[in-house]
Amino acid sequence: MRISVRNVSKRFSSKTVIDNMSIEIPSGSFTTLLGPSGCGKTTLLRMIAGLETPDSGEIYLGEKCVYSSEKGISLPPEERGLGFVFQDFALWPHMKVKDNVAFGLRAQRRTEKLEEKVKAALHAVQLDEYAERYPSELSGGQQQRVSFARAIVTEPECILFDEPLSALDALLREEMRSELKALVTSRGITSVFVTHDQTEAMSMSDLIAVLSAGKIEQYDTPETIYAHPATPFSAKFIGSSNWIDDRTMFRPESASIGTSGFEAEVHGSEFMGSFYRLLLSHEGRKWIIDANERHDVGETLMISVPQNSIITIKEA
């Protein structure tokens, strides 16, 4: 399912949260809406779902217009045929796992082969043994898997994910990233994933839309955004950036300690296991590079950066 958002705006009181935004999300892609808190990413997701109503613009799911301010169209969530996975799992505490998963099918009155479909969905998320348990008897990771099963059991063409991994601990979150991506990719489901975590976005996404203050700063592949950031915001928000001046920067991994280059003073040295992370200062700007050995605070180093690794951000 292709998703088309066309010139959509949304205001809450006097604040513009989404400002005349347009984005095309390809069918079958895993697309992430990435940005800091308050940038509008969750509002955009909720407008696609029908949980928030835009003030203007149009939204299409495939060829079907689900919202148009000009045409007076605004389909409710249940008519859009989307799956939704929430940050807080949103499971019914009084229902067993199997009934939570079956809830969407029953709501849509699709009860034919219901038990078979529920078993298949639980098997897909490795919860075959937990059908008779209640949510309170599950760990956080298991509860999140139930919410995934509930989203896929209705066989939607698209699933929307609102920071679904943020409530999990770091180790489990890393494990669930690969599981979630494999789950939707194997089914060809269009996925729109909201997060403020750049590691999640970079590791999971086919495409990333970097949002700031209700606008899209850049929309491209993770590799392109990292290597060729279009704006200073994209450069700063994705990965670590060492700024030479207001428009030129380099990534830490492209730098090395040598006998010529930029002069920088060591302000700190952090042991990271297989390397040391050096915190540097160059002409009042803070830099980070990785080194094979510790360097003392106050030490002056020459930082060598290949010319082809220096990134220039074009003027807007």
The CA distance from 259 to 240, in Å, is: 24
The residues, any chain, with a CB within 8 Å of residue 284's CB and separated by 6 or more, are none
pLDDT of residue 148: 92
Q: Which domains does the chain have, with CATH numbers?
A: 3-227 (3.40.50.300), 241-312 (2.40.50.140)
| Residues 48 and 192 sit within 8 Å (Cβ to Cβ) | yes
User: Using 50, 70 and 90 to split pLDDT, how confident is the model at 228?
Assistant: very high
Instruction: Dump pLDDT digits (tens) for 69-103.
Output: 999 999 999 899 999 998 887 899 999 999 999 99
| pLDDT tens readout for residues 30-66 | 999 999 999 999 999 999 999 999 999 999 999 999 9
If DSSP codes are grouped into helix, strand and coil, which group holds residue 225?
helix
Average of pLDDT values for 220-235? Answer: 95
> Which strands sit side by side in the sheet containing 262-271, from one edge to the other?
256-258, 300-304, 262-271, 276-282, 285-291
**If 0-12 CB within 10 Å is exposed, 13-18 middle and 19+ buried, where does residue 296 land?**
exposed
Phi, psi of 203 (to 5 degrees): -85, -25
Is the pLDDT confidence value at 310 over 70?
Answer: yes
Sheet holding 242-243, edge to edge: 242-243, 248-250, 311-312
- What is the model's pLDDT at position 184? 93
Q: What percent of the chain has pLDDT over 90?
A: 84
When pLDDT is cut at 50, 70 and 90, the band that residue 316 belongs to is: low
- 42 with 64: CB under 8 angstroms? no
Cα separation, 11 vs 196, in Å, equals 21
Q: Does 117 score more than 80 pLDDT?
A: yes
Using an 8 Å Cβ cutoff, are 3 and 51 in contact?
no
Are 239 and 254 in contact by the 8 Å Cβ rule? The answer is: no
Average pLDDT over residues 14-19: 94
- Tell me the mean pLDDT in the region 297-312: 96
Q: Which two three-digit tokens encode residue 248?
A: 């030129």
Residue 289 has pLDDT above 70, yes or no: yes
22 pLDDT exceeds 80? yes
How many C-beta atoms lie closer than 10 Å to residue 172's C-beta? 15
Helices 114-124, 140-152: inter-axial angle, 10-degree rounding: 130
Residue 308 has what pLDDT? 94
Across the chain, what does the average pLDDT equal?
Answer: 93
Q: What region, left, alpha or beta, does residue 19 occupy, with left being phi > 0 and alpha being psi -120 to 50 degrees?
A: beta
* Residue indicated by tokens 């984005």: 23
8 A C-beta contact, residue 160 and residue 85: yes
